């Protein structure tokens, strides 16, 4: 019974954190950017949503505000990268560090409890007479369906195609007249907006917002993305990829919940997450080696070595020919 309850809670949390994973996917996979801003923007979304709810603002409106503030965080990182020419990794770290102080300023203290206040989850709980965990799952599924549909439609537009092309080949897209700096800022804003929205939903689900709630968010997001890609693959188009990312988040939460039920200390979760990411990254490499071994194909490293040798062979002049022609 304990395992079933743990899995139910893991699924509900996995769906809510899956929205964060969608935001990380936009920057990590589509833009090919390692954006560490998410550790700060996730907590910013939760902090702002909690403060607004405590002060009587509608929970849905608070989530909209969280999305906007998260987008602003992404804009700041993008501005430092594109205009100030600060490396994206350093720019995102600077924003993340600054957001720690900003989040404390927003809340006025380290954490804000939401006990006794009306949130989206408590509203669903009262109307449908289901548990808070089930309410979180219902809300999460609704948000995921809407967001996946909206993202799919967005990336079918001209701006969406330009955004995806910027991550694939920035120089080619720039040659076609697309402002890649605008695309980068747009992607960072959209990604961090989704991360902050997820932070607001998680805060309402768990009943409090904490300044440390975003710690390790980027690692959790990467783990979820990689698990989703390895297990579900890319088969039916972009919409399927977005769904697989969310499913990866759910599987990650289930694994964590089961391991905790088996007696693992909560302090070891970071180590477990690192191991999961390392294993998930290594799986495609081993699959490629096994496939090439079965079909007697050279590995990618061997192909690159052979290609470089061919180039060197054609680039080195024939000294004997040069001597005969009197060019030496």
Cα–Cα distance for residue pair 11/15, rounded to 1 Å: 6
What fold is seen in the domain 2-264?
Answer: ABC transporter involved in vitamin B12 uptake, BtuC (1.10.3470)
CB distance 12 to 259 below 8 Å: no
**Range scoring the smallest mean pLDDT among 46-55, 130-139, 318-327:** 318-327
Interacting residues of 292 by C-beta distance below 8 A, sequence separation 6+? 298, 299
Q: What is the mean pLDDT of residues 58-86?
A: 95
Cα–Cα distance for residue pair 260/280, rounded to 1 Å: 20
Phi/psi class of residue 12: alpha, beta or left (left: φ > 0; alpha: ψ in -120 to 50)?
alpha
pLDDT at 263: 78
HSE (CB half, 13 Å, CA atoms) of 23? 34
More confident residue, 306 or 226: 226
Residue 319: pLDDT band with limits 50, 70, 90:
very low
Cα–Cα distance for residue pair 269/212, rounded to 1 Å: 15
More confident residue, 43 or 269: 43
Q: Where are the alpha helices (DSSP H) in 83-131?
A: 88-107, 120-128
Q: What is the mean pLDDT of residues 128-140?
A: 89
Residue 269: pLDDT band with limits 50, 70, 90:
confident
Give residue-wise pLDDT tens across range 16-41.
999 999 999 999 889 988 889 999 99
Q: Is the pLDDT of residue 70 over 90?
A: yes
pLDDT at 320: 47
Encoded tokens for 312: 């060197």
Cα–Cα distance for residue pair 74/187, rounded to 1 Å: 8
How do the domains of the chain map onto residue ranges? 2-264, 265-316
Predicted TM-score (pTM) of this structure: 0.85
pLDDT at 285: 79
pLDDT at 326: 46
Beta strands (DSSP E) in the chain are 111-113, 208-210
Give residue-wise pLDDT tens across range 237-265.
888 889 999 999 999 898 888 888 887 78
Helix (H) or strand (E) holding 45: helix 38-54
pLDDT at 62: 95
Interacting residues of 301 by C-beta distance below 8 A, sequence separation 6+? none
Q: Is the pLDDT of residue 170 over 80?
A: yes
**Burial annotation 13-27 (CB, 10 A radius, 16+ → b, else e):** bbbbbbbbbbbbbbb
Q: Is the pLDDT of residue 327 over 80?
A: no
Backbone phi and psi for residue 229, each to the nearest 5 degrees, phi listed first: -70, -40
CB distance 166 to 182 below 8 Å: no
Cα–Cα distance for residue pair 42/71, rounded to 1 Å: 11
Q: Is the pLDDT of residue 318 over 60?
A: no
pLDDT at 36: 92
Helix (H) or strand (E) holding 327: none
Share of the chain above pLDDT 70, in %: 89
Q: Cα–Cα distances in Å, from 82 out to 23, 105, 163?
A: 20, 28, 15
């Amino acid at each position: 019974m304990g395992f079933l309850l743990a899995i139910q809670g893991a699924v509900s949390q996995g769906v809510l954190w899956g929205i964060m994973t969608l935001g990380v996917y936009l920057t990590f996979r589509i833009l090919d950017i390692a954006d560490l801003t998410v550790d700060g923007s996730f907590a910013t979304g939760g902090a702002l949503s909690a403060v607004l709810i405590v002060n009587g603002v509608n929970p849905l409106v608070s989530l909209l505000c969280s999305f906007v503030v998260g987008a602003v965080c992404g804009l700041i990182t993008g501005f430092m990268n594109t205009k100030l020419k600060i490396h994206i990794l350093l720019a995102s770290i600077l924003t993340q560090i600054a957001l720690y102080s900003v989040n404390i300023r927003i809340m006025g203290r380290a954490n804000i409890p939401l006990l006794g206040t009306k949130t989206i989850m408590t509203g669903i709980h009262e109307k449908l007479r289901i548990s808070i965990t089930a309410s979180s799952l219902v809300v999460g599924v609704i948000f995921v369906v809407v967001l996946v549909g909206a993202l799919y439609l967005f990336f079918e537009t001209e701006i969406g195609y330009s955004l995806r092309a910027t991550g694939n080949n920035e120089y080619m897209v720039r040659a076609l007249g697309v402002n890649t700096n605008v695309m980068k800022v747009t992607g960072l804003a959209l990604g961090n907006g989704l991360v902050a929205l997820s932070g607001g939903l998680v805060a309402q689900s768990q009943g409090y917002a904490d300044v440390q709630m975003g710690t390790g968010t980027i690692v959790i997001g990467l783990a979820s993305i990689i698990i989703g890609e390895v297990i579900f693959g890319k088969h039916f188009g972009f919409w399927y990829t977005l769904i697989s990312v969310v499913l990866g988040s759910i599987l990650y939460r289930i694994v964590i919940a089961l391991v905790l039920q088996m007696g693992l200390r909560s302090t070891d979760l970071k180590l477990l997450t690192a191991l999961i990411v390392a294993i998930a990254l290594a799986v495609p490499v081993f699959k490629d080696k096994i496939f090439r071994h079965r079909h007697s194909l050279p590995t990618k490293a061997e192909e690159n070595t052979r290609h470089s040798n061919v180039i060197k062979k054609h680039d080195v002049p024939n000294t004997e020919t040069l001597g005969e022609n009197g060019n030496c």
